[in-house]
C-alpha cells in the first residue's frame, strides 16, 4: 500500500507539474492592421481566419491601429506577433528615423513577406478644381494620421513636387473615414490616402460626391526612388473616374518580431501562402501577392521561421 501511495503521489506530482505547461500551450497571435475603412483591416481579418482554422489552440485577434508606424513600434514592444506596414516605414524603422516616428532603430523587427502595393491616391472634390499637385496650393488637404505611413508618404510626395505643408491652405491629420466625411460636408478639398486600390473610404466618397483623382507624374517616382515605384490607378476604380491616372506606389510588408518563435513564424508564413484564395477574397488589393515575390525589396532581416519556408519552396531574395 505504501508503494502504491508513493506511486500515486508521484503521478499526482507529475500531473501537477504538467498542468501549467498545458495551460500555457495556447498560442496568442495579435495581428496589427490599420483603420477599419482601410485595406489592412480586412486583410488582417483574412489572416485571422486562416490562422484560427489551422493552428491548434491559437487565440487570434485583429487589432485596429493607426497602421504602419504604430504597428512597427508595437511589434518592437512585444505587443503583437505580426503586422502590416508600408515599405518606407519599415526601412525607416530598421534604420531609425526620428522624423518618421522611430527615434532609435527597431532592432527586433523581422520580415515575413512582401505583400501588395499601396497606391498613393489623392482624391479631390470636383468643385475644388484640383486636378494636379500644383493645384493643391492654398487648398485644404488631409494627409492621414500624424506620423502614420500615409502621412510619411504625403510629405515625401509634396517634397518631390517642390512643395511642403506650408504651401497648403490647411492641413488636416485625419484617418481615411474622417477625411471622407469632411469632404462630403465641404470642409475639406482633398484627401491623400495610401492604400490598396478600391479602398472602402474612397469608394464611399466617389458614390457620395463628384470627385477628381489627381495625377502624380512618373518623374515624381523617379525623384523619390526606392521603395517608391511608378504605377497607375486604372479607369473606373472609383465612380466618376473614367480614365487611367498616373500615381506612385509603395510595397507593403508583413512584419514580425525576433521574439516570435521560429515555429510560429514558419506556420504563419506557410499558412498564408497555402491559403492565398482566402486572402485574395478579402480584398482585391491582395490579388498581386505571389510567393515568388515574397522577399523582393525586404528592407529588414527575414525571420528565420519565414526563411525556412522560403528555403523549402525555393524562393530567394531578389
pLDDT digits (tens, 9 = 90+) for 176-191: 999 999 999 999 999 9
Highest mean pLDDT out of 5-9, 24-28, 180-184? 180-184
In a shared domain, residues 47 and 111: yes
In a shared domain, residues 144 and 199: yes
Supply the pLDDT for residue 26: 81
Helix 304-313 to helix 262-274 angle (10° resolution) is: 40
Q: Look at 170-174, 227-231, 278-282 and tell me which has the smallest mean pLDDT.
A: 227-231
- 310's grid cell: 522560403
Q: Which residue has the cell 469632404?
A: 183
In a shared domain, residues 283 and 295: yes
Is pLDDT of 106 > 50?
Answer: yes
The model's pTM is: 0.82
Indicate whether 53 belongs to any domain. Answer: yes
Indicate whether 4 belongs to any domain. Answer: no
In a shared domain, residues 46 and 160: no
Supply the pLDDT for residue 225: 86
Dihedral, CA atoms, 144, 111, 247, 289, nearest 10 degrees? -120
Indicate whether 102 belongs to any domain. Answer: yes
- C-alpha dist (Å) from residue 72 to 27, 81, 107, 255: 21, 11, 11, 8
In a shared domain, residues 93 and 214: no
Supply the pLDDT for residue 25: 66
Is pLDDT of 317 > 90?
Answer: no
Backbone angles phi, psi at 248, to 5 degrees: -125, 160
In a shared domain, residues 126 and 213: yes
Supply the pLDDT for residue 23: 37
Pairing between strand 109-125 and 190-195?
antiparallel
Average pLDDT over residues 39-64: 96
DSSP 159: H
Indicate whether 11 belongs to any domain. Answer: no
Indicate whether 7 belongs to any domain. Answer: no
Supply the pLDDT for residue 105: 98
d(CA 190, CA 139) in angstroms, rounded, equals 8
Supply the pLDDT for residue 236: 97
Is pLDDT of 11 > 70?
Answer: no
**Containing structural domain, residue 71:** 27-115+252-313
Indicate whether 318 belongs to any domain. Answer: no
In a shared domain, residues 184 and 172: yes
- pLDDT category at 13 given cuts 50, 70, 90 is very low
As a whole-number percent, the residues of the chain with pLDDT over 90 amount to 85
Domain boundary among 250, 279, 305: 250
In a shared domain, residues 86 and 150: no
Domain boundary among 197, 220, 250: 250
Q: Look at 4-8, 49-53, 68-72, 307-311 and tell me which has the smallest mean pLDDT.
A: 4-8
Indicate whether 1 belongs to any domain. Answer: no
Domain boundary among 209, 230, 250: 250
In a shared domain, residues 214 and 109: no
Structural domains counted in the chain: 2
Q: What is the pLDDT of residues 125-152, one digit of tens each?
A: 999 999 999 999 999 999 998 888 899 9
In a shared domain, residues 241 and 125: yes
- C-alpha dist (Å) from residue 165 to 52, 139, 149, 269: 44, 10, 16, 40
Backbone angles phi, psi at 232, to 5 degrees: -135, 135
DSSP 147: T
In a shared domain, residues 177 and 31: no
Are the C-beta atoms of 168 and 140 separated by less than 8 Å? yes
Indicate whether 159 belongs to any domain. Answer: yes
Q: What is the pLDDT of residues 56-97, one digit of tens each?
A: 989 999 999 999 999 999 999 999 999 999 999 999 999 999
Average pLDDT of the chain is 91
In a shared domain, residues 218 and 267: no
Q: What is the CATH number of the domain that holds 129?
A: 3.40.190.10
Amino acid at each position: 500500500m505504501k508503494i502504491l501511495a508513493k506511486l500515486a503521489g508521484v503521478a499526482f506530482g507529475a500531473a501537477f507539474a504538467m498542468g501549467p505547461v498545458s495551460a500555457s500551450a495556447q498560442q496568442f497571435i495579435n495581428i496589427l492592421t490599420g483603420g477599419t475603412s482601410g485595406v489592412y483591416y480586412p486583410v488582417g481579418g483574412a489572416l485571422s481566419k486562416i490562422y484560427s482554422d489551422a493552428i491548434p489552440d491559437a487565440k487570434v485577434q485583429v487589432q485596429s491601429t493607426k497602421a504602419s508606424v504604430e504597428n512597427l513600434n508595437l511589434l518592437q514592444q512585444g505587443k503583437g506577433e505580426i503586422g502590416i506596414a508600408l515599405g518606407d516605414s519599415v526601412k525607416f524603422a530598421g534604420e531609425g528615423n526620428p522624423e518618421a516616428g522611430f527615434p532609435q532603430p527597431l532592432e527586433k523587427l523581422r520580415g515575413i513577406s512582401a505583400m501588395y502595393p499601396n497606391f498613393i491616391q489623392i482624391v479631390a472634390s470636383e468643385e475644388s478644381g484640383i486636378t494636379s499637385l500644383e493645384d493643391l496650393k492654398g487648398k485644404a488637404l488631409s494627409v492621414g494620421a500624424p506620423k502614420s505611413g500615409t502621412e510619411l508618404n504625403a510629405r515625401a510626395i509634396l517634397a518631390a513636387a517642390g512643395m511642403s505643408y506650408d504651401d497648403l491652405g490647411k492641413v488636416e491629420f485625419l484617418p481615411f473615414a474622417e477625411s471622407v466625411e469632411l469632404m462630403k460636408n465641404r470642409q475639406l478639398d482633398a484627401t491623400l490616402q495610401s492604400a490598396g486600390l478600391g479602398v472602402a473610404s474612397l469608394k464611399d466618397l466617389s458614390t457620395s460626391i463628384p470627385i477628381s483623382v489627381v495625377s502624380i507624374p512618373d518623374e515624381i517616382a523617379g525623384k523619390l526612388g526606392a521603395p517608391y515605384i511608378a504605377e497607375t490607378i486604372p479607369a473606373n476604380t472609383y465612380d466618376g473616374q473614367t480614365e487611367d491616372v498616373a500615381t506612385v506606389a509603395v510595397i507593403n510588408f508583413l512584419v514580425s518580431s525576433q521574439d516570435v518563435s521560429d515555429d510560429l513564424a514558419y506556420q504563419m508564413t506557410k499558412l498564408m501562402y497555402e491559403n492565398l484564395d482566402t486572402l485574395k477574397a478579402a480584398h482585391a488589393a491582395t490579388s498581386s501577392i505571389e510567393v515568388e515575390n515574397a522577399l523582393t525589396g525586404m528592407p529588414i532581416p527575414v525571420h528565420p521561421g519565414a526563411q525556412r519556408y522560403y528555403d523549402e519552396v525555393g524562393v530567394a531574395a531578389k
